[in-house]
Structure 1
Protein backbone atom coordinates (compact mmCIF):
# COMPACT_ATOMS: atom_id res chain seq x y z
CA UNK A 1 0.00 0.00 0.00
CA UNK A 2 1.02 3.59 -0.46
CA UNK A 3 1.35 5.69 2.72
CA UNK A 4 -1.78 7.69 3.50
CA UNK A 5 -0.90 10.93 5.25
CA UNK A 6 -3.12 13.67 3.82
CA UNK A 7 -5.66 13.89 1.03
CA UNK A 8 -7.39 16.85 -0.59
CA UNK A 9 -10.07 15.99 -3.09
CA UNK A 10 -13.53 16.73 -4.36
CA UNK A 11 -16.33 14.47 -3.17
CA UNK A 12 -18.65 12.19 -5.07
CA UNK A 13 -21.98 11.52 -3.37
CA UNK A 14 -24.23 8.47 -3.11
CA UNK A 15 -27.18 9.43 -0.95
CA UNK A 16 -28.56 5.88 -0.63
CA UNK A 17 -28.55 4.23 2.79
CA UNK A 18 -27.61 0.60 3.44
CA UNK A 19 -25.34 0.29 0.41
CA UNK A 20 -24.24 -3.31 0.80
CA UNK A 21 -21.18 -5.08 -0.53
CA UNK A 22 -23.16 -6.80 -3.28
CA UNK A 23 -24.07 -3.38 -4.63
CA UNK A 24 -20.46 -2.26 -4.30
CA UNK A 25 -19.19 -5.32 -6.21
CA UNK A 26 -21.77 -7.90 -7.38
CA UNK A 27 -21.07 -11.53 -6.52
CA UNK A 28 -20.56 -12.56 -10.15
CA UNK A 29 -17.31 -10.58 -10.20
CA UNK A 30 -15.78 -12.39 -7.21
CA UNK A 31 -14.15 -15.13 -9.30
CA UNK A 32 -10.74 -13.45 -9.19
CA UNK A 33 -8.16 -12.64 -6.54
CA UNK A 34 -6.61 -10.02 -8.82
CA UNK A 35 -7.38 -6.56 -7.44
CA UNK A 36 -6.44 -4.61 -10.54
CA UNK A 37 -9.39 -4.09 -12.85
CA UNK A 38 -12.14 -4.55 -10.27
CA UNK A 39 -12.87 -0.82 -10.32
CA UNK A 40 -14.69 -1.14 -13.64
CA UNK A 41 -17.20 -3.41 -11.90
CA UNK A 42 -17.72 -1.22 -8.82
CA UNK A 43 -21.44 -0.38 -8.48
CA UNK A 44 -21.86 -2.25 -11.76
CA UNK A 45 -25.64 -2.68 -11.59
CA UNK A 46 -26.15 1.01 -10.84
CA UNK A 47 -23.67 2.22 -13.43
CA UNK A 48 -25.46 0.51 -16.32
CA UNK A 49 -28.97 0.57 -17.73
CA UNK A 50 -30.87 -2.60 -18.63
CA UNK A 51 -29.40 -2.56 -22.15
CA UNK A 52 -25.86 -2.40 -20.77
CA UNK A 53 -25.24 1.24 -21.67
CA UNK A 54 -23.89 3.67 -19.03
CA UNK A 55 -26.50 5.21 -16.74
CA UNK A 56 -26.01 8.97 -17.26
CA UNK A 57 -27.64 9.76 -13.91
CA UNK A 58 -25.26 7.66 -11.83
CA UNK A 59 -22.71 9.74 -9.93
CA UNK A 60 -19.61 7.87 -11.09
CA UNK A 61 -20.63 8.22 -14.73
CA UNK A 62 -20.73 12.01 -14.59
CA UNK A 63 -17.70 13.73 -16.07
CA UNK A 64 -17.59 16.27 -13.26
CA UNK A 65 -16.84 13.51 -10.74
CA UNK A 66 -13.85 12.11 -12.60
CA UNK A 67 -10.84 11.91 -10.32
CA UNK A 68 -12.78 12.37 -7.07
CA UNK A 69 -11.13 10.34 -4.32
CA UNK A 70 -13.63 10.83 -1.48
CA UNK A 71 -17.02 9.11 -1.44
CA UNK A 72 -19.76 10.48 0.82
CA UNK A 73 -22.54 7.95 1.32
CA UNK A 74 -25.73 7.38 3.29
CA UNK A 75 -25.50 5.65 6.65
CA UNK A 76 -24.76 1.92 7.11
CA UNK A 77 -22.36 1.83 4.17
CA UNK A 78 -20.70 -1.52 3.43
CA UNK A 79 -23.23 -3.75 5.15
CA UNK A 80 -23.82 -7.30 3.92
CA UNK A 81 -21.22 -9.98 3.22
CA UNK A 82 -17.61 -9.73 4.30
CA UNK A 83 -16.09 -9.81 0.80
CA UNK A 84 -12.71 -8.09 0.68
CA UNK A 85 -13.34 -7.44 -3.01
CA UNK A 86 -15.50 -4.46 -1.97
CA UNK A 87 -12.61 -2.24 -0.80
CA UNK A 88 -10.48 -3.66 -3.63
CA UNK A 89 -13.04 -2.42 -6.17
CA UNK A 90 -13.35 1.00 -4.53
CA UNK A 91 -9.60 1.60 -4.38
CA UNK A 92 -9.19 0.44 -7.97
CA UNK A 93 -11.94 2.92 -8.84
CA UNK A 94 -9.63 5.60 -7.42
CA UNK A 95 -11.21 6.19 -4.02
CA UNK A 96 -9.05 6.68 -0.91
CA UNK A 97 -11.73 7.52 1.67
CA UNK A 98 -15.40 6.86 2.40
CA UNK A 99 -17.38 9.18 4.67
CA UNK A 100 -20.69 8.15 6.23
CA UNK A 101 -22.63 8.47 9.46
CA UNK A 102 -22.29 4.70 9.91
CA UNK A 103 -19.96 2.16 8.29
CA UNK A 104 -20.33 -1.60 8.74
CA UNK A 105 -17.66 -3.08 11.01
CA UNK A 106 -16.40 -5.84 8.70
CA UNK A 107 -16.22 -3.50 5.71
CA UNK A 108 -14.37 -0.99 7.88
CA UNK A 109 -11.81 -3.61 8.91
CA UNK A 110 -11.28 -4.78 5.33
CA UNK A 111 -11.01 -1.21 4.09
CA UNK A 112 -8.27 -0.30 6.57
CA UNK A 113 -6.26 -3.37 5.55
CA UNK A 114 -6.31 -2.14 1.96
CA UNK A 115 -5.51 1.54 2.37
CA UNK A 116 -9.10 2.78 2.11
CA UNK A 117 -9.94 5.13 4.98
CA UNK A 118 -13.46 4.71 6.43
CA UNK A 119 -14.52 7.93 8.17
CA UNK A 120 -17.54 8.11 10.45
CA UNK A 121 -18.80 11.62 11.17
CA UNK A 122 -21.81 13.03 12.98
CA UNK A 123 -24.97 12.56 10.93
CA UNK A 124 -25.65 16.30 10.75
CA UNK A 125 -22.22 16.86 9.18
CA UNK A 126 -22.69 13.98 6.74
CA UNK A 127 -26.15 15.28 5.75
CA UNK A 128 -24.55 18.62 4.89
CA UNK A 129 -21.90 16.87 2.77
CA UNK A 130 -24.55 14.80 1.02
CA UNK A 131 -26.34 18.01 0.07
CA UNK A 132 -23.16 19.52 -1.41
CA UNK A 133 -21.66 17.04 -3.87
CA UNK A 134 -18.37 17.99 -5.44
CA UNK A 135 -17.06 20.16 -2.62
CA UNK A 136 -13.39 19.93 -1.69
CA UNK A 137 -12.38 18.31 1.61
CA UNK A 138 -8.97 17.81 3.19
CA UNK A 139 -8.22 14.75 5.30
CA UNK A 140 -5.30 14.50 7.73
CA UNK A 141 -4.66 11.00 9.04
CA UNK A 142 -2.12 12.07 11.67
CA UNK A 143 -4.54 14.49 13.34
CA UNK A 144 -7.62 12.41 12.43
CA UNK A 145 -9.43 15.45 11.08
CA UNK A 146 -11.45 16.47 8.04
CA UNK A 147 -11.26 20.11 7.00
CA UNK A 148 -14.49 21.46 5.53
CA UNK A 149 -14.72 24.16 2.80
CA UNK A 150 -15.20 26.96 5.33
CA UNK A 151 -11.98 26.02 7.13
CA UNK A 152 -13.54 24.33 10.16
CA UNK A 153 -12.35 20.86 11.10
CA UNK A 154 -14.13 17.81 12.46
CA UNK A 155 -12.44 14.86 14.12
CA UNK A 156 -13.08 11.23 13.23
CA UNK A 157 -12.32 8.06 15.21
CA UNK A 158 -9.31 5.99 14.15
CA UNK A 159 -7.47 3.62 16.46
CA UNK A 160 -3.74 4.11 16.91
CA UNK A 161 -2.67 0.89 15.17
CA UNK A 162 -4.79 1.54 12.06
CA UNK A 163 -3.47 5.11 11.99
CA UNK A 164 0.13 3.88 12.13
CA UNK A 165 -0.44 1.35 9.35
CA UNK A 166 -2.00 3.99 7.09
CA UNK A 167 0.76 6.50 7.72
CA UNK A 168 3.46 3.88 7.05
CA UNK A 169 1.63 2.33 4.09
CA UNK A 170 1.55 -1.22 5.46
CA UNK A 171 -1.10 -3.77 6.34
CA UNK A 172 -1.07 -5.83 9.54
CA UNK A 173 1.34 -8.42 8.14
CA UNK A 174 3.60 -5.73 6.72
CA UNK A 175 3.73 -4.04 10.11
CA UNK A 176 4.76 -7.28 11.81
CA UNK A 177 7.42 -7.99 9.19
CA UNK A 178 8.92 -4.55 9.84
CA UNK A 179 9.37 -5.58 13.47
CA UNK A 180 11.40 -8.66 12.51
CA UNK A 181 14.81 -7.20 13.59
CA UNK A 182 13.44 -6.23 17.00
CA UNK A 183 11.79 -9.64 17.41
CA UNK A 184 15.06 -11.35 16.48
CA UNK A 185 17.02 -9.27 19.03
CA UNK A 186 14.48 -10.13 21.74
CA UNK A 187 14.66 -13.84 20.93
CA UNK A 188 18.45 -13.79 21.06
CA UNK A 189 18.46 -11.94 24.38
CA UNK A 190 15.83 -14.24 25.89
CA UNK A 191 17.80 -17.27 24.73
CA UNK A 192 21.02 -16.04 26.38
CA UNK A 193 19.22 -15.29 29.65
CA UNK A 194 17.74 -18.80 29.90
CA UNK A 195 19.91 -21.04 32.09
CA UNK A 196 20.32 -24.81 31.57
CA UNK A 197 18.37 -25.38 34.81
CA UNK A 198 15.45 -23.28 33.48
CA UNK A 199 15.48 -25.30 30.25
CA UNK A 200 15.43 -28.52 32.29
CA UNK A 201 12.45 -27.33 34.36
CA UNK A 202 10.65 -26.21 31.19
CA UNK A 203 10.90 -29.73 29.85
Structure 2
Protein backbone atom coordinates (compact mmCIF):
# COMPACT_ATOMS: atom_id res chain seq x y z
CA UNK A 1 0.00 0.00 0.00
CA UNK A 2 1.32 3.45 -0.89
CA UNK A 3 2.02 5.69 2.15
CA UNK A 4 -0.02 8.88 2.36
CA UNK A 5 0.70 11.71 4.78
CA UNK A 6 -0.71 14.63 2.79
CA UNK A 7 -2.79 14.70 -0.35
CA UNK A 8 -3.71 17.66 -2.49
CA UNK A 9 -6.20 16.99 -5.23
CA UNK A 10 -8.99 18.08 -7.49
CA UNK A 11 -12.46 17.50 -6.05
CA UNK A 12 -15.27 15.58 -7.75
CA UNK A 13 -18.71 16.14 -6.15
CA UNK A 14 -21.40 13.47 -6.40
CA UNK A 15 -24.28 14.87 -4.41
CA UNK A 16 -26.19 11.64 -3.85
CA UNK A 17 -26.97 9.70 -0.69
CA UNK A 18 -26.91 5.90 -0.31
CA UNK A 19 -24.50 5.18 -3.16
CA UNK A 20 -24.13 1.43 -2.89
CA UNK A 21 -21.31 -0.87 -3.89
CA UNK A 22 -23.19 -2.12 -6.97
CA UNK A 23 -23.44 1.47 -8.22
CA UNK A 24 -19.75 1.98 -7.50
CA UNK A 25 -18.73 -1.21 -9.36
CA UNK A 26 -21.49 -3.36 -10.90
CA UNK A 27 -21.37 -7.11 -10.30
CA UNK A 28 -20.70 -8.05 -13.94
CA UNK A 29 -17.21 -6.54 -13.65
CA UNK A 30 -16.08 -8.55 -10.62
CA UNK A 31 -14.40 -11.35 -12.56
CA UNK A 32 -10.81 -10.15 -12.14
CA UNK A 33 -8.63 -11.65 -9.43
CA UNK A 34 -6.14 -8.78 -9.21
CA UNK A 35 -6.92 -5.36 -7.74
CA UNK A 36 -6.12 -3.38 -10.89
CA UNK A 37 -8.33 -2.59 -13.86
CA UNK A 38 -11.57 -1.85 -12.03
CA UNK A 39 -11.38 1.94 -12.37
CA UNK A 40 -12.64 1.89 -15.95
CA UNK A 41 -15.93 0.42 -14.66
CA UNK A 42 -16.42 2.89 -11.79
CA UNK A 43 -20.05 4.16 -11.65
CA UNK A 44 -20.51 2.27 -14.92
CA UNK A 45 -24.29 2.52 -15.29
CA UNK A 46 -24.17 6.24 -14.59
CA UNK A 47 -21.16 6.94 -16.85
CA UNK A 48 -22.05 4.75 -19.84
CA UNK A 49 -25.13 3.80 -21.89
CA UNK A 50 -26.06 0.21 -22.84
CA UNK A 51 -23.65 0.32 -25.80
CA UNK A 52 -20.73 1.47 -23.62
CA UNK A 53 -20.77 5.09 -24.84
CA UNK A 54 -20.09 7.86 -22.34
CA UNK A 55 -23.12 9.70 -21.03
CA UNK A 56 -22.11 13.33 -21.06
CA UNK A 57 -24.95 14.28 -18.74
CA UNK A 58 -23.08 12.47 -15.94
CA UNK A 59 -20.61 14.97 -14.51
CA UNK A 60 -17.67 12.59 -13.96
CA UNK A 61 -17.43 12.40 -17.76
CA UNK A 62 -16.80 16.16 -17.98
CA UNK A 63 -13.19 17.15 -18.63
CA UNK A 64 -13.22 19.58 -15.68
CA UNK A 65 -13.02 16.53 -13.39
CA UNK A 66 -10.19 14.74 -15.24
CA UNK A 67 -7.68 13.50 -12.66
CA UNK A 68 -9.97 14.20 -9.70
CA UNK A 69 -8.61 12.41 -6.64
CA UNK A 70 -10.94 13.61 -3.86
CA UNK A 71 -14.56 12.47 -3.94
CA UNK A 72 -17.32 14.33 -2.08
CA UNK A 73 -20.46 12.27 -1.56
CA UNK A 74 -23.73 12.13 0.36
CA UNK A 75 -24.71 10.09 3.41
CA UNK A 76 -24.22 6.35 3.75
CA UNK A 77 -21.61 6.07 1.02
CA UNK A 78 -20.65 2.48 0.17
CA UNK A 79 -23.77 0.78 1.51
CA UNK A 80 -24.84 -2.57 0.08
CA UNK A 81 -22.70 -5.66 -0.24
CA UNK A 82 -19.33 -6.15 1.39
CA UNK A 83 -17.39 -6.33 -1.88
CA UNK A 84 -13.85 -5.04 -1.58
CA UNK A 85 -13.95 -4.29 -5.31
CA UNK A 86 -15.67 -0.95 -4.57
CA UNK A 87 -12.59 0.68 -2.97
CA UNK A 88 -10.39 -1.08 -5.56
CA UNK A 89 -12.38 0.62 -8.35
CA UNK A 90 -12.25 4.03 -6.67
CA UNK A 91 -8.50 3.75 -6.02
CA UNK A 92 -7.77 2.43 -9.52
CA UNK A 93 -9.71 5.35 -11.00
CA UNK A 94 -7.54 7.72 -8.98
CA UNK A 95 -9.48 8.62 -5.82
CA UNK A 96 -7.32 8.72 -2.68
CA UNK A 97 -9.76 10.54 -0.38
CA UNK A 98 -13.53 10.23 0.04
CA UNK A 99 -15.38 12.78 2.15
CA UNK A 100 -18.97 12.08 3.19
CA UNK A 101 -21.21 12.63 6.23
CA UNK A 102 -21.34 8.85 6.81
CA UNK A 103 -20.11 5.57 5.37
CA UNK A 104 -21.32 2.00 5.49
CA UNK A 105 -19.11 0.27 8.09
CA UNK A 106 -17.77 -2.46 5.82
CA UNK A 107 -16.96 -0.02 3.03
CA UNK A 108 -15.25 2.34 5.50
CA UNK A 109 -12.95 -0.44 6.73
CA UNK A 110 -12.30 -1.77 3.22
CA UNK A 111 -11.32 1.73 2.08
CA UNK A 112 -8.85 2.08 4.96
CA UNK A 113 -7.36 -1.35 4.22
CA UNK A 114 -6.75 -0.36 0.61
CA UNK A 115 -5.12 3.03 1.10
CA UNK A 116 -8.11 5.36 0.73
CA UNK A 117 -8.74 7.99 3.41
CA UNK A 118 -12.47 8.03 4.23
CA UNK A 119 -13.32 11.25 6.09
CA UNK A 120 -16.63 11.96 7.82
CA UNK A 121 -17.71 15.61 7.96
CA UNK A 122 -20.97 17.40 8.63
CA UNK A 123 -23.22 17.91 5.63
CA UNK A 124 -23.13 21.70 6.02
CA UNK A 125 -19.40 21.72 5.23
CA UNK A 126 -19.83 19.25 2.39
CA UNK A 127 -22.64 21.32 0.88
CA UNK A 128 -20.32 24.34 0.75
CA UNK A 129 -17.55 22.41 -1.03
CA UNK A 130 -19.99 20.57 -3.30
CA UNK A 131 -21.48 23.85 -4.44
CA UNK A 132 -18.01 25.22 -5.19
CA UNK A 133 -16.88 22.05 -6.99
CA UNK A 134 -20.02 21.98 -9.14
CA UNK A 135 -19.36 25.56 -10.34
CA UNK A 136 -15.58 25.51 -10.85
CA UNK A 137 -12.47 23.47 -10.21
CA UNK A 138 -11.89 23.03 -6.50
CA UNK A 139 -8.71 21.76 -4.91
CA UNK A 140 -8.46 20.57 -1.30
CA UNK A 141 -5.41 19.60 0.72
CA UNK A 142 -5.83 16.75 3.19
CA UNK A 143 -3.20 16.64 5.94
CA UNK A 144 -3.55 13.19 7.49
CA UNK A 145 -0.75 13.72 10.01
CA UNK A 146 -2.44 16.77 11.55
CA UNK A 147 -5.97 15.63 10.67
CA UNK A 148 -7.30 18.64 8.82
CA UNK A 149 -8.39 19.70 5.35
CA UNK A 150 -7.46 23.10 3.93
CA UNK A 151 -9.65 24.59 1.23
CA UNK A 152 -8.76 27.30 -1.28
CA UNK A 153 -9.82 30.02 1.20
CA UNK A 154 -7.24 28.62 3.68
CA UNK A 155 -10.06 27.45 5.94
CA UNK A 156 -8.98 24.49 8.09
CA UNK A 157 -11.55 21.79 8.78
CA UNK A 158 -10.50 19.13 11.28
CA UNK A 159 -11.53 15.48 11.07
CA UNK A 160 -11.26 12.36 13.19
CA UNK A 161 -9.69 9.07 12.19
CA UNK A 162 -8.80 6.13 14.44
CA UNK A 163 -5.10 6.32 15.34
CA UNK A 164 -4.54 2.68 14.32
CA UNK A 165 -5.77 3.36 10.77
CA UNK A 166 -4.01 6.71 10.60
CA UNK A 167 -0.67 5.05 11.40
CA UNK A 168 -1.25 2.33 8.79
CA UNK A 169 -2.10 4.88 6.07
CA UNK A 170 0.81 7.19 6.92
CA UNK A 171 3.27 4.29 6.76
CA UNK A 172 1.64 2.40 3.88
CA UNK A 173 1.13 -0.72 6.00
CA UNK A 174 -1.40 -3.35 5.07
CA UNK A 175 -2.11 -6.41 7.26
CA UNK A 176 0.82 -8.32 5.75
CA UNK A 177 3.24 -5.47 6.46
CA UNK A 178 1.98 -5.32 10.05
CA UNK A 179 2.52 -9.06 10.45
CA UNK A 180 6.04 -8.83 9.00
CA UNK A 181 6.97 -6.32 11.71
CA UNK A 182 6.99 -9.37 13.99
CA UNK A 183 9.24 -11.42 11.69
CA UNK A 184 11.81 -12.19 14.42
CA UNK A 185 9.12 -13.54 16.76
CA UNK A 186 7.57 -15.55 13.94
CA UNK A 187 10.95 -17.04 13.00
CA UNK A 188 11.69 -17.88 16.66
CA UNK A 189 8.30 -19.55 17.06
CA UNK A 190 8.74 -21.58 13.89
CA UNK A 191 12.27 -22.60 14.90
CA UNK A 192 11.10 -23.82 18.30
CA UNK A 193 7.93 -25.55 17.10
CA UNK A 194 9.07 -27.48 14.04
Q: Would the TM-score normalized by the shorter structure come out above 0.5? A: yes
What does the per-residue CA deviation read over 1:16-52, in whole Å, with 9 as the maximum and x for residues that have no partner? 1110000000011112222111100010000012443
Q: Does 1:150 align with 2:150?
A: no
Gaps of 5+ in 1: 192-203
Deviation, structure 1 residue 185: 9.3
Distance 2:182 2:139 in 1: 37
Distance 2:117 2:79 in 1: 16
Aligned to 2:76: 76
Between structure 1 and structure 2, the one with the greater Rg is 1
Among 175, 180, 183, which residue is 1:180 paired with?
A: 183
Distance 1:99 1:27 in 2: 24
Deviation, structure 1 residue 168: 0.6
Query: 1:131 aligns to what SS in structure 2?
Result: helix
Deviation, structure 1 residue 186: 8.7
More deviation in 131-140 or 78-87? Answer: 131-140
Query: If the length of structure 2 is used for normalisation, what is the TM-score?
Result: 0.91
Deviation, structure 1 residue 176: 2.1
Aligned to 1:14: 14
In the TM superposition, what are the counterparts of 1:1-203 in structure 2 within 5 Å? 1-133=1-133, 134-181=137-184, 183=185
The aligned length equals 188
